[in-house]
Protein backbone atom coordinates (compact mmCIF):
# COMPACT_ATOMS: atom_id res chain seq x y z
CA UNK A 1 0.00 0.00 0.00
CA UNK A 2 1.35 3.39 -1.04
CA UNK A 3 2.30 5.69 1.82
CA UNK A 4 0.35 8.94 1.95
CA UNK A 5 2.24 12.14 1.31
CA UNK A 6 2.58 14.24 4.43
CA UNK A 7 2.32 18.03 4.51
CA UNK A 8 3.55 20.01 7.51
CA UNK A 9 1.93 23.42 7.87
CA UNK A 10 4.33 25.57 9.90
CA UNK A 11 2.66 28.61 11.48
CA UNK A 12 4.79 31.18 13.34
CA UNK A 13 2.61 32.98 15.92
CA UNK A 14 3.09 36.09 18.01
CA UNK A 15 0.08 37.36 19.99
CA UNK A 16 -2.38 35.66 17.63
CA UNK A 17 -4.91 34.45 20.21
CA UNK A 18 -7.94 36.21 18.60
CA UNK A 19 -7.44 34.56 15.20
CA UNK A 20 -6.14 31.06 15.98
CA UNK A 21 -9.56 29.41 16.25
CA UNK A 22 -10.64 30.91 12.92
CA UNK A 23 -7.39 29.88 11.28
CA UNK A 24 -7.59 26.29 12.53
CA UNK A 25 -11.18 25.99 11.33
CA UNK A 26 -10.15 27.19 7.85
CA UNK A 27 -7.02 25.06 7.55
CA UNK A 28 -8.69 21.85 8.74
CA UNK A 29 -11.58 22.44 6.31
CA UNK A 30 -9.09 22.63 3.44
CA UNK A 31 -7.22 19.56 4.74
CA UNK A 32 -10.51 17.60 4.74
CA UNK A 33 -10.80 18.29 0.99
CA UNK A 34 -7.42 16.62 0.39
CA UNK A 35 -8.14 13.00 1.47
CA UNK A 36 -5.00 11.53 -0.09
CA UNK A 37 -2.71 13.64 2.08
CA UNK A 38 -1.68 13.40 5.75
CA UNK A 39 -1.40 16.73 7.56
CA UNK A 40 0.66 18.00 10.47
CA UNK A 41 -0.03 21.45 11.92
CA UNK A 42 3.08 22.88 13.57
CA UNK A 43 2.49 26.09 15.56
CA UNK A 44 5.54 28.08 16.68
CA UNK A 45 4.75 30.39 19.60
CA UNK A 46 7.28 33.21 19.41
CA UNK A 47 7.14 34.20 23.08
CA UNK A 48 3.58 35.58 22.86
CA UNK A 49 2.35 37.73 25.74
CA UNK A 50 -1.35 36.95 25.32
CA UNK A 51 -3.13 33.59 25.44
CA UNK A 52 -1.66 32.28 22.18
CA UNK A 53 0.16 29.37 23.82
CA UNK A 54 -2.91 28.36 25.83
CA UNK A 55 -5.00 28.35 22.67
CA UNK A 56 -2.41 26.22 20.88
CA UNK A 57 -2.40 23.75 23.77
CA UNK A 58 -6.19 23.53 23.51
CA UNK A 59 -5.92 22.76 19.80
CA UNK A 60 -3.29 20.10 20.51
CA UNK A 61 -5.61 18.42 23.03
CA UNK A 62 -8.43 18.39 20.48
CA UNK A 63 -6.44 17.24 17.46
CA UNK A 64 -3.44 14.89 17.55
CA UNK A 65 -2.14 16.40 14.31
CA UNK A 66 -1.31 19.64 16.13
CA UNK A 67 2.32 20.05 17.18
CA UNK A 68 3.79 23.08 18.88
CA UNK A 69 7.03 24.75 19.85
CA UNK A 70 7.06 27.59 22.37
CA UNK A 71 10.14 29.81 22.49
CA UNK A 72 11.74 30.95 25.74
CA UNK A 73 11.23 34.56 24.58
CA UNK A 74 10.38 36.54 21.47
CA UNK A 75 13.07 35.71 18.89
CA UNK A 76 11.25 37.15 15.87
CA UNK A 77 9.42 35.72 12.88
CA UNK A 78 12.62 34.67 11.13
CA UNK A 79 13.45 32.35 14.04
CA UNK A 80 9.87 31.03 13.90
CA UNK A 81 10.21 30.18 10.21
CA UNK A 82 13.54 28.44 10.82
CA UNK A 83 12.11 26.43 13.74
CA UNK A 84 9.15 25.37 11.62
CA UNK A 85 11.36 24.13 8.80
CA UNK A 86 13.81 22.43 11.17
CA UNK A 87 11.12 20.51 13.07
CA UNK A 88 8.74 19.71 10.19
CA UNK A 89 8.37 15.99 9.51
CA UNK A 90 6.35 16.23 6.29
CA UNK A 91 7.40 15.39 2.76
CA UNK A 92 6.27 18.91 1.89
CA UNK A 93 6.37 21.95 4.15
CA UNK A 94 4.10 24.99 4.06
CA UNK A 95 4.94 28.28 5.75
CA UNK A 96 1.99 30.55 6.45
CA UNK A 97 0.73 33.16 8.87
CA UNK A 98 -2.17 32.60 11.24
CA UNK A 99 -3.95 35.88 10.41
CA UNK A 100 -5.62 34.38 7.28
CA UNK A 101 -3.93 36.91 5.00
CA UNK A 102 -2.42 33.77 3.46
CA UNK A 103 -5.48 31.96 2.00
CA UNK A 104 -5.50 28.24 2.96
CA UNK A 105 -7.67 27.62 -0.12
CA UNK A 106 -4.49 27.77 -2.24
CA UNK A 107 -3.04 24.62 -0.64
CA UNK A 108 -4.60 22.10 -3.10
CA UNK A 109 -3.23 24.07 -6.06
CA UNK A 110 0.18 24.30 -4.41
CA UNK A 111 0.24 20.57 -3.74
CA UNK A 112 -0.74 19.81 -7.33
CA UNK A 113 2.08 22.02 -8.61
CA UNK A 114 4.82 20.32 -6.57
CA UNK A 115 3.57 16.76 -7.11
CA UNK A 116 2.26 16.81 -10.70
CA UNK A 117 3.73 19.83 -12.48
CA UNK A 118 7.39 19.33 -11.60
CA UNK A 119 7.92 22.37 -9.38
CA UNK A 120 10.19 22.27 -6.31
CA UNK A 121 8.44 25.15 -4.58
CA UNK A 122 5.25 27.18 -4.96
CA UNK A 123 5.22 30.75 -3.67
CA UNK A 124 2.48 33.33 -3.37
CA UNK A 125 2.39 37.04 -4.09
CA UNK A 126 -0.10 39.85 -3.69
CA UNK A 127 -1.02 41.57 -6.95
CA UNK A 128 -2.50 44.56 -5.11
CA UNK A 129 -2.01 46.38 -1.81
CA UNK A 130 -5.59 47.45 -1.23
CA UNK A 131 -6.18 48.47 2.38
CA UNK A 132 -2.52 49.32 2.95
CA UNK A 133 -1.41 52.94 3.64
CA UNK A 134 -0.13 54.56 0.39
CA UNK A 135 3.17 55.65 1.94
CA UNK A 136 3.83 52.10 3.12
CA UNK A 137 3.04 50.68 -0.33
CA UNK A 138 5.36 53.22 -1.99
CA UNK A 139 8.34 52.38 0.21
CA UNK A 140 7.67 48.64 -0.14
CA UNK A 141 7.83 48.88 -3.94
CA UNK A 142 10.98 51.01 -3.72
CA UNK A 143 12.59 48.40 -1.47
CA UNK A 144 11.96 45.59 -3.97
CA UNK A 145 13.40 47.68 -6.80
CA UNK A 146 16.50 48.60 -4.81
CA UNK A 147 17.33 45.16 -3.43
CA UNK A 148 16.83 43.44 -6.79
CA UNK A 149 19.36 45.81 -8.34
CA UNK A 150 21.82 45.40 -5.49
CA UNK A 151 21.58 41.66 -4.85
CA UNK A 152 21.82 38.32 -6.68
CA UNK A 153 18.76 37.11 -4.76
CA UNK A 154 15.72 37.94 -6.87
CA UNK A 155 12.82 38.95 -4.64
CA UNK A 156 9.43 39.28 -6.30
CA UNK A 157 7.42 42.41 -5.50
CA UNK A 158 4.52 41.47 -3.25
CA UNK A 159 5.99 38.06 -2.39
CA UNK A 160 4.71 36.50 0.81
CA UNK A 161 6.37 33.97 3.11
CA UNK A 162 3.37 31.72 2.33
CA UNK A 163 4.70 28.86 0.20
CA UNK A 164 4.94 25.10 -0.15
CA UNK A 165 8.28 23.40 -0.75
CA UNK A 166 9.62 19.91 -1.11
CA UNK A 167 12.25 18.33 1.13
CA UNK A 168 15.14 19.31 -1.11
CA UNK A 169 14.26 23.00 -0.82
CA UNK A 170 13.74 22.71 2.95
CA UNK A 171 17.19 21.17 3.42
CA UNK A 172 18.74 23.87 1.23
CA UNK A 173 17.23 26.60 3.41
CA UNK A 174 18.31 24.87 6.62
CA UNK A 175 21.85 24.56 5.28
CA UNK A 176 22.04 28.36 5.41
CA UNK A 177 22.46 28.48 9.17
CA UNK A 178 23.19 32.18 9.49
CA UNK A 179 22.01 33.97 12.64
CA UNK A 180 20.91 37.17 10.88
CA UNK A 181 18.21 35.72 8.66
CA UNK A 182 16.21 37.34 5.89
CA UNK A 183 13.89 34.66 4.55
CA UNK A 184 12.71 36.50 1.45
CA UNK A 185 16.32 36.82 0.36
CA UNK A 186 17.10 33.20 1.25
CA UNK A 187 14.10 31.95 -0.75
CA UNK A 188 15.32 33.92 -3.76
CA UNK A 189 18.99 33.04 -3.38
CA UNK A 190 18.63 29.24 -3.30
CA UNK A 191 16.88 29.17 -6.68
CA UNK A 192 15.06 25.93 -7.65
CA UNK A 193 12.09 25.66 -9.98
CA UNK A 194 9.37 27.85 -8.51
CA UNK A 195 5.79 28.66 -9.43
CA UNK A 196 4.02 31.82 -8.28
CA UNK A 197 0.35 32.01 -7.35
CA UNK A 198 -1.19 35.47 -7.35
CA UNK A 199 -4.09 36.78 -5.28
CA UNK A 200 -5.60 40.05 -4.12
CA UNK A 201 -4.56 41.53 -0.79
CA UNK A 202 -6.57 40.16 2.14
CA UNK A 203 -7.11 42.00 5.42
CA UNK A 204 -6.38 40.34 8.75
CA UNK A 205 -9.26 38.21 10.01
CA UNK A 206 -8.72 39.38 13.60
CA UNK A 207 -6.10 40.94 15.83
CA UNK A 208 -3.57 43.64 14.95
CA UNK A 209 -0.46 43.65 12.77
CA UNK A 210 2.88 43.50 14.60
CA UNK A 211 4.72 45.27 11.78
CA UNK A 212 4.98 49.03 12.21
CA UNK A 213 6.56 51.22 9.52
CA UNK A 214 9.74 51.49 11.60
CA UNK A 215 10.02 47.71 12.05
CA UNK A 216 9.53 47.19 8.30
CA UNK A 217 12.23 49.80 7.61
CA UNK A 218 14.70 48.01 9.90
CA UNK A 219 13.75 44.69 8.31
CA UNK A 220 14.47 46.16 4.87
CA UNK A 221 17.91 47.33 6.03
CA UNK A 222 18.52 43.84 7.42
CA UNK A 223 17.74 42.37 4.02
CA UNK A 224 20.01 44.75 2.14
CA UNK A 225 22.95 44.14 4.50
CA UNK A 226 22.35 40.37 4.45
CA UNK A 227 22.29 39.96 0.67
CA UNK A 228 24.33 42.79 -0.79
CA UNK A 229 27.70 44.47 -0.32
CA UNK A 230 26.64 47.33 -2.58
CA UNK A 231 26.40 49.83 0.34
CA UNK A 232 30.11 49.27 0.97
CA UNK A 233 30.85 49.82 -2.72
CA UNK A 234 28.79 53.02 -2.73
CA UNK A 235 30.63 54.26 0.35
CA UNK A 236 33.95 53.69 -1.42
CA UNK A 237 32.70 55.49 -4.53
CA UNK A 238 31.51 58.44 -2.46
CA UNK A 239 34.91 58.55 -0.77
CA UNK A 240 36.74 58.62 -4.12
CA UNK A 241 34.42 61.31 -5.47
CA UNK A 242 34.97 63.45 -2.38
CA UNK A 243 38.75 63.04 -2.73
CA UNK A 244 38.57 64.03 -6.40
CA UNK A 245 36.36 67.02 -5.58
CA UNK A 246 38.73 68.09 -2.79
CA UNK A 247 41.71 67.88 -5.16
CA UNK A 248 39.90 70.01 -7.73
CA UNK A 249 38.95 72.59 -5.07
CA UNK A 250 42.57 72.75 -3.86
CA UNK A 251 43.74 73.52 -7.39
CA UNK A 252 41.01 76.17 -7.78
CA UNK A 253 41.98 77.84 -4.48
CA UNK A 254 45.69 77.87 -5.39
CA UNK A 255 45.02 79.31 -8.85
CA UNK A 256 42.61 81.92 -7.47
CA UNK A 257 45.12 82.95 -4.81
CA UNK A 258 47.92 83.34 -7.33
CA UNK A 259 45.75 85.28 -9.77
CA UNK A 260 43.55 87.37 -7.44
CA UNK A 261 45.47 87.25 -4.17
CA UNK A 262 42.33 86.66 -2.01
CA UNK A 263 42.88 83.54 0.09
CA UNK A 264 40.59 84.38 3.03
CA UNK A 265 37.13 84.89 1.51
CA UNK A 266 34.39 82.24 1.57
CA UNK A 267 34.83 80.79 5.07
CA UNK A 268 31.05 80.14 5.53
CA UNK A 269 31.02 77.90 2.45
CA UNK A 270 34.15 76.18 3.78
CA UNK A 271 32.33 75.34 7.02
CA UNK A 272 29.36 73.94 5.06
CA UNK A 273 31.68 71.80 2.93
CA UNK A 274 33.42 70.48 6.05
CA UNK A 275 30.09 69.56 7.60
CA UNK A 276 28.99 67.83 4.38
CA UNK A 277 32.19 65.81 4.17
CA UNK A 278 31.96 64.91 7.86
CA UNK A 279 28.41 63.70 7.30
CA UNK A 280 29.51 61.53 4.37
CA UNK A 281 32.31 60.10 6.50
CA UNK A 282 29.91 59.26 9.32
CA UNK A 283 27.54 57.63 6.83
CA UNK A 284 30.38 55.49 5.51
CA UNK A 285 31.46 54.53 9.02
CA UNK A 286 27.86 53.61 9.84
CA UNK A 287 27.61 51.34 6.79
CA UNK A 288 30.86 49.58 7.69
CA UNK A 289 29.63 49.32 11.29
CA UNK A 290 26.47 47.52 10.16
CA UNK A 291 28.48 44.84 8.37
CA UNK A 292 30.92 44.51 11.28
CA UNK A 293 28.02 44.15 13.73
CA UNK A 294 26.46 41.37 11.65
CA UNK A 295 29.81 39.63 11.34
CA UNK A 296 30.33 39.91 15.10
CA UNK A 297 26.95 38.28 15.81
CA UNK A 298 27.64 35.48 13.33
CA UNK A 299 30.99 34.64 14.96
CA UNK A 300 29.35 34.16 18.37
CA UNK A 301 27.39 31.15 17.00
CA UNK A 302 24.37 31.77 19.18
CA UNK A 303 21.34 29.50 18.66
CA UNK A 304 18.66 30.98 16.43
CA UNK A 305 16.01 30.15 19.03
CA UNK A 306 15.56 28.42 22.40
CA UNK A 307 12.63 26.12 23.17
CA UNK A 308 10.72 26.33 26.45
CA UNK A 309 7.87 23.91 25.70
CA UNK A 310 7.14 21.48 22.86
CA UNK A 311 5.44 18.21 21.95
CA UNK A 312 7.64 17.65 18.89
CA UNK A 313 9.91 14.64 19.05
CA UNK A 314 13.42 15.95 18.50
CA UNK A 315 14.99 14.37 15.44
CA UNK A 316 18.49 12.95 15.90
CA UNK A 317 21.18 15.30 14.64
CA UNK A 318 22.26 12.91 11.89
CA UNK A 319 18.72 12.67 10.55
CA UNK A 320 18.31 16.45 10.83
CA UNK A 321 21.49 17.02 8.85
CA UNK A 322 20.24 14.70 6.12
CA UNK A 323 22.71 11.80 6.51
CA UNK A 324 23.01 8.52 8.39
CA UNK A 325 25.52 5.78 9.02
**What are 191-205's pLDDT values in tens digits?**
888 888 888 766 655
Q: Quick one: average pLDDT of 123-144?
A: 72
Whether residue 148 lies inside any domain: the answer is no
Between residues 324 and 57, which one has the greater pLDDT? 57
- 313 in a structural domain: yes
Residue 237 and residue 184 share a domain: no
User: What is the mean predicted confidence (pLDDT) over 292-319?
Assistant: 76
Please, which residues have CB within 8 angstroms of residue 277's CB and are 6 or more apart in sequence?
242, 246
Among 123, 158, 130, 161, which residue's Cα sits nearest to residue 144?
158
Same domain as 290, residue 196: no
Are 286 and 313 part of one and the same domain? no
Is it the case that residue 133 has pLDDT exceeding 70? no
The answer to whether residues 186 and 290 belong to one domain is no
Q: How many residues are recorded in the chain?
A: 325
Residue bearing the bigger pLDDT, 14 or 143: 14
Lowest model confidence (mean pLDDT) among 77-81, 149-153, 161-165, 281-285: 149-153
Does 216 fall in a domain? no
Read off the pLDDT band of 325 (50, 70, 90). Answer: very low
Domain presence at residue 111 = yes
- Please give the residue range of the domain that contains residue 265: 230-299
In a domain, 247, yes or no: yes
The answer to whether residues 77 and 121 belong to one domain is yes
Q: Which long-range contacts (C-beta less than 8 Å, at least 24 apart) are formed by 284-288? A: 284/235, 284/238, 284/239, 287/231, 287/232, 287/234, 287/235, 288/232, 288/235
Mean pLDDT of the 220-248 span = 72
Find the CATH number of the domain harbouring 107: 3.90.550.10
Q: Does 188 or 53 have the greater pLDDT score?
A: 53
Q: Give the pLDDT confidence score for residue 319 in this predicted structure.
A: 44
Q: Span 222-232, mean pLDDT?
A: 71
Task: Please indicate, yes or no, whether residues 40 and 174 belong to a single structural domain of this protein.
Answer: yes
Instruction: Report the pLDDT value the prediction gives residue 323, as an integer from 0 to 100.
Output: 38
Instruction: Say yes or no: 275 and 250 in one domain.
Output: yes
Does the structure show a pLDDT above 70 at 103?
Answer: yes
User: What local confidence, expressed as pLDDT, does residue 324 receive?
Assistant: 38
167 and 288 share one domain:
no
Sheet bearing 5-13, strands edge to edge: 194-199, 121-126, 159-166, 92-95, 5-13, 37-45, 66-71, 307-310
- Helices then strands, each counted (H, E), the chain: 11, 8
In this prediction, residue 263 carries a pLDDT of 56
**Percent of the chain scoring above 90 in pLDDT:** 10
Flag whether 140 is in a domain.
Answer: no
Residue 163 in this model has a pLDDT that exceeds 60:
yes
In a domain, 283, yes or no: yes
For residue 313, what is the DSSP state?
P
Residue 42 confidence (pLDDT): 94
290 vs 165, higher pLDDT: 165
- The tens digit of pLDDT for each residue in 60-91 reads 998 889 999 999 888 888 889 999 999 988 88
Helix (H) or strand (E) holding 174: helix 167-175
Collapse the DSSP code of 181 into the 3-class scheme (helix H, G, I; strand E, B; otherwise coil) and give the result.
coil
Residues 155-159 have a mean pLDDT of 73
pLDDT surpassing 80 at residue 21 = yes
- The answer to whether residue 90 sits within a structural domain is yes
Provide the domain count of the chain.
2
Q: Distance (Å, rounded) from C-alpha 11 to C-alpha 39?
A: 13
Q: Which residue has the higher pLDDT, 265 or 313?
A: 313
> What's the start-to-end Cα distance of the chain, in Å?
28
The Cα 83–Cα 16 span in angstroms is 18
| pLDDT band of 238, cuts 50, 70, 90 | confident
Q: 11: exposed, middle or buried (C-beta count within 10 Å: 0-12, 13-18, 19+)?
A: buried
Q: Are residues 179 and 289 in the same domain?
A: no
What is residue 231's three-state secondary structure? helix
Rounded Cα distance, 158 and 198, in Å: 9
- The per-residue pLDDT of the chain, averaged, comes to 79
pLDDT at 313 exceeding the cut of 50: yes
What CA–CA distance (Å, rounded) separates 178 from 174?
A: 9
Q: Are residues 22 and 94 in the same domain?
A: yes
**pLDDT for residue 261:** 64
The pLDDT value recorded for residue 57 is: 92
Using CB atoms within 10 Å of the CB of residue 203, give its burial: 0 to 12 exposed, 13 to 18 middle, 19+ buried: exposed
Least confident of 47-56, 78-87, 155-164, 223-232: 223-232
pLDDT digits (tens, 9 = 90+) for 282-292: 777 777 777 78
Whether the pLDDT of residue 168 is over 50: the answer is yes
CA 311 to each of CA 13, 35, 68, 83: distance values in angstroms, whole numbers, following the listed order: 16, 25, 6, 13
Do 295 and 312 share a domain, yes or no? no
Query: What is the pLDDT, as a whole number, of residue 132?
Result: 65
Asked if residue 286 and residue 180 are part of one domain, the reply reads: no
Amino acid sequence: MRRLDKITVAVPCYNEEPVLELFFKEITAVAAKMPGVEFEFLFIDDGSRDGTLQKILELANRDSRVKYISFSRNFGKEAGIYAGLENASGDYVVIMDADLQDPPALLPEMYRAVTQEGYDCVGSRRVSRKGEPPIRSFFARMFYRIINRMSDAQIVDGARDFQMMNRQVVEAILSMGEYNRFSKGIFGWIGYKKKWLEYENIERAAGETKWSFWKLFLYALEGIVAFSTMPLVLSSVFGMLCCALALIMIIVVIVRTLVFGDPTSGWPSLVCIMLLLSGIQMLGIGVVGQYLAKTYLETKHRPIYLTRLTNVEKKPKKERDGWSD
